[in-house]
Every structure is written in C-alpha cells, then in structure tokens.
Amino acid sequence: MNIAFIGLGNMGAPMALNLAAAGHNVTGYDTATIPAGLTAASSAAAAVAGADVAITMLPNGDILRRVAAEIIPALPAHAVFCDCSTVDVDSARTVAALAEARGIAALDAPVSGGTAGAAAGRLTFMVGGPASAFATAEPLFAIMGAKAVHCGPSGAGQSAKICNNMILGVTMIATCEAFALADRLGLDRQKLFDVASTSSGQSWSLTSYCPAPGIGPASPADNGYRPGFAAELMLKDLLLAQQAATASHAETPMGALAAELYRQFVEEEGGKGMDFSAMLPRFTKRHIGH
C-alpha cells in the first residue's frame, strides 16, 4: 500500500519504519526529524497525496483536529484515515465526521504497548470506526502490532483505551500502596509477590510490570524507573477518562483519585519523566504521623 504517516515521534517513527520494512511505500511528515528509511514530505497535505491509508500519531486532540483539517481535503476518495493518537472521545468523533462528510472512512485506533511495543511490532490496537475500514487497515495493524480489536463505531477505540488505562492507573497505585504497607509491616517484598501473584491480588501491574525492583520480570523499576510508560502520559490518560466520565455522567471515584495522585506526583513531586510505576518510591518516602 501507499501509506502516509504523520507524527514521527517516539511512537510514530518505529511504527512507520516497521511498515516500510514490510515492503509498504511510506511517506512521512513531522514538524521535527523524519527518520531515514521513509520518503519525506514537505507538509502533511503533501504526505497524503495518493495514499491508500493515512496514519496519524499525534500528542493531543487539538493537534489532531488541526492536522485532520489539513489532510482530509487532500486525501484520495478511496483512502482510509487511521488516527493512532490517544485523544478525547469528542475529538475522535469530530474528526471521523469531517472525514465521512468527504466520503473518507475514518478509524480511531489508539495503542497500548509503549515505545518498546512500537519498536518490536507488538502493540495492541483498540479500533473504532466502520468494519470495512478496519478490514483495510487490519494487515497494517498486524505489522505494527500483536493484536487489533474492532471495538465498535467511531470513538469506541478511544473509549476502550481510556477505560483500560484507568484500570491500569488504579491497579498500579494499589500495587505500590501494598508494597509500601508491606515494608512498614516488615513483610518481605518477595513474599508479598509470591502470595499476591498467585492469589486474588494478582494484576498485570504486579505480575508483568512489578513496581518493586528485583521482583518479577524485568521492568522499569529495575532501570531506575526510567519510563516505559511515563507518569505524565498516565496522567494524560486518566484526565481523558475523567473528561469522558463527566461528559457521560459516569461515577468513577477511584479513577478520579488516581488522576489526582498522578497529578500531584507529576506536577508537585518530581514525577515528570519517570515511569508511572515510580509511585512506589513516592509512597515509601511518605508516612502519616499520629
């Protein structure tokens, strides 16, 4: 296929390079550097000329709306517009409506798996939009990722992403709290892991991404909490979940508290630039006086 890829940062660049390595013709555009191995375009609109699929990976909904307004008029009528950014549900639906007004099928397809998953082609795609467009993009998802789930109509991919990451944020905080409590109680961390990882306290945060160094599979905790998934990105996703909860009148008290704790950590406690699992040293350094 002829693929346009707009947004070649830490996530977009390896995704685009994986598509090029698989034999697709990939034309890239970014306001910063365009990696070697891709055909460079002078603008976003130029990148999508003649594209079968246009993929975007952008920082937020405002930038997505601006880029979409530029590229949708330049897309061929047969093209599929696939946005892999993590943005608010309203932005995803607005952009899809703009595309569909021109007869162009649009997908919202945010990802899970971080930069390591992008480099290894092991991302999970959560996809909203027409089934026919999903079928067109599915071979590309198979190159860039390990799994793609068609979640429903436009906005469903973003909805799935923020719901999933709200679970992740809440369970990571709970896991960090438990290790911090175990320390205070004199319980060996490995023993807590041995019990909880095989009983009702089990979660992905514990068994696949343990926040305690030296316990469980290798994780950012074993690398000085350098980010696999940065705390400020978790904060972004939790705030998107709260925005959606407010708009849909959903009650999410645990999600709201997780968002506030990550806000404090990122904005007031030096957590920016650290992995989201660095909540563990944050909790172990704090104590409540009596």
Hey, which residues does 82 pair with through a beta bridge?
55, 107
Burial class of residue 148, CB neighbours in 10 A (0-12, 13-18, 19+): buried
- 161 flagged as catalytic: yes
Sign for the pseudo-dihedral over CA of 211, 217, 222, 223:
negative
DSSP per position, 107-154 = EE--EESHHHHHHHT-EEEEEES-HHHHHHHHHHHHHHEEEEEEEEST
Residue matched to tokens 């993929």: 55
Residue matched to tokens 């950014």: 85
Instruction: Identify the three-state secondary structure at position 7.
Output: coil
Q: How far apart are CA 274 and CA 271, in angstroms?
A: 5
Q: How far apart are CA 33 and CA 262, in angstroms?
A: 31
- Per the CB < 8 A criterion, the answer to whether 98 and 124 are in contact is no
- At CA 102, angle to CA 99 and CA 69, rounded to 5? 50
Which of 147, 161, 191, 236 is an active site residue?
Answer: 161
Which value, to the nearest 10 degrees, does the dihedral of the CA atoms of residues 260, 89, 47, 25 take? 90
Q: How far apart are CA 171 and CA 41, in angstroms?
A: 42
In single-letter form, the type of residue at position 128 comes to: G
Catalytic residues: 161
